Amino acid sequence: MEGAPRAHESSPDRARKTPSQPYLAVLGAPGSGKSTQARILSEQLQIPRLSTGDRLRAEVAGRSELGRRVEETIARGELVPDEVIVAAVRHWLRAPDLEGGFVLDGFPRTLGQAVALDREMENLNRSLDLVLHLRVPTDEVLRRLAVRRAEHQTPGEGSASGRRVDDLPEVARRRIEAYLQDSAPLLDHYRARGILAEIDGAGPVEETSERMMAAVAGATGGPRTPPPCC
C-alpha cells in the first residue's frame, strides 16, 4: 500500500464527509457476534458492510485464484497471510459504494493489517472514525459456536449445506486462540489513536447493538438511539 501520494488532513473531501456515514471496523473473536452486529450497524447507518470472511468464502466457492490460495488456510482455522488479505482488501476498498462510509467486519485482524489499512485509508483521503471491539468471554464464544454448529448440522451433510468447516470444535478453538494472540497489539494500536470503543457483547443482540450505536453516535456526533422508554 505504499506509493500513492498522502492526502492532506484538511482536504475539502474529508471535511465534506458527514458523520452519519462513518468509516467503522468491528473486531471480535469468532462467535462474538461481530458479523451480526456489523450487519445491524450497516442497516441502521445505511452504510455497506465489507466482511473479509464472506468475501473469502465467496472466492473459495467460485474457485478463483485467490479462493484456491486461501481454501486450506480457512479450513484449518488459521489466518490468511497479511500480504494476501491486505492486497485483496486494498482492491475491495476501491469499490465506489464504499466511498461514503462502511463497516469492516473481520478486518483488520493483525497489527500489520491495521497499519496497512491506515496507509490505504490515507491514500484514499479517508480515516477510520471508530473501531468497535466486542468483548465476550471465551466460554460464551465456544457455547455460541456450538449452537451455530448444531443449527447447521444435518446427518450426512457437508460444508455445502451452509455449515462452516471452520466451526468444527477443534478448529473453532484454534481460531479463538489465534484471535486472542493477534488482537492484543491491534487493540493497543487503536487505543493509542483514541478511536477504540470496547463494547460488552455478552448479553442479548439488541442490548449489544444499542451499545454499538451509542458508541458510534458518541464518536461521530451522529444521532443517538433513544433510550428505552418508561
DSSP 7: P
Query: What are the Cα distances from residue 160, in Å, to 68, 152, 156, 213?
Result: 16, 10, 11, 35
88 interacts with ligand AMP by CB under 6 A: no
Return the residue of 49, 109, 126, 211 that touches ligand AMP, per CB under 6 A: 109
Return the residue of 21, 73, 138, 225 that touches ligand AMP, per CB under 6 A: 73
For the bound state, the minimum distance from the C-beta of residue 123 to ligand AMP, rounded and expressed in Å, comes to 19
Region from 41-49, 75-83, 192-200, 216-224 binding ligand AMP, contact rule CB under 6 A: 75-83
Measured in degrees and rounded to the nearest 5, phi and psi for residue 94 equal -85, 0
| Contacts (CB under 6 A) with ligand AMP, residues 115-144 | none
For the bound state, the minimum distance from the C-beta of residue 197 to ligand AMP, rounded and expressed in Å, comes to 19
Active site residue 17: no
Q: Which three cell numbers stand for residue 52?
A: 473479509
> What is the Cα–Cα distance from 59 to 84, expressed in whole angstroms?
13
Of 23 and 107, CB closest to ligand AMP = 107
Active site residue 39: no
> What is the Cα–Cα distance from 80 to 91, expressed in whole angstroms?
16
Strand pairing partners for 105? 26, 51
> What is the Cα–Cα distance from 62 to 213, expressed in whole angstroms?
35
For the bound state, the minimum distance from the C-beta of residue 79 to ligand AMP, rounded and expressed in Å, comes to 4
Measured in degrees and rounded to the nearest 5, phi and psi for residue 155 equal -50, 135
52 interacts with ligand AMP by CB under 6 A: yes
Q: Which one, of 88, 110, 90, lies nearest residue 189 by Cα?
A: 110
Active-site residue, from 144, 148, 149, 173 = 148
Active site residue 34: yes
Return the residue of 38, 47, 80, 136 that touches ligand AMP, per CB under 6 A: 80
Count interface residues toward ligand AMP (CB under 6 A).
18
Of 22 and 30, CB closest to ligand AMP = 30
Question: For residues 1 and 114, is the Cβ–Cβ distance under 8 A?
Answer: no
Active site residue 148: yes
Q: Is 83 helix (H, G, I), strand (E, B) or coil?
A: helix
Active-site residue, from 49, 55, 126, 164 = 164
DSSP 224: P
190 interacts with ligand AMP by CB under 6 A: no
Return the residue of 45, 60, 66, 74 that touches ligand AMP, per CB under 6 A: 74
User: Terminal CA-to-CA distance of the chain, rounded, Å?
Assistant: 51
Q: Which residues sit at the interface with ligand AMP, rule CB under 6 A?
A: 30, 52-53, 56, 73-74, 77-80, 85, 106-109, 113, 166, 175
Known catalytic residues?
34, 109, 148, 164, 175
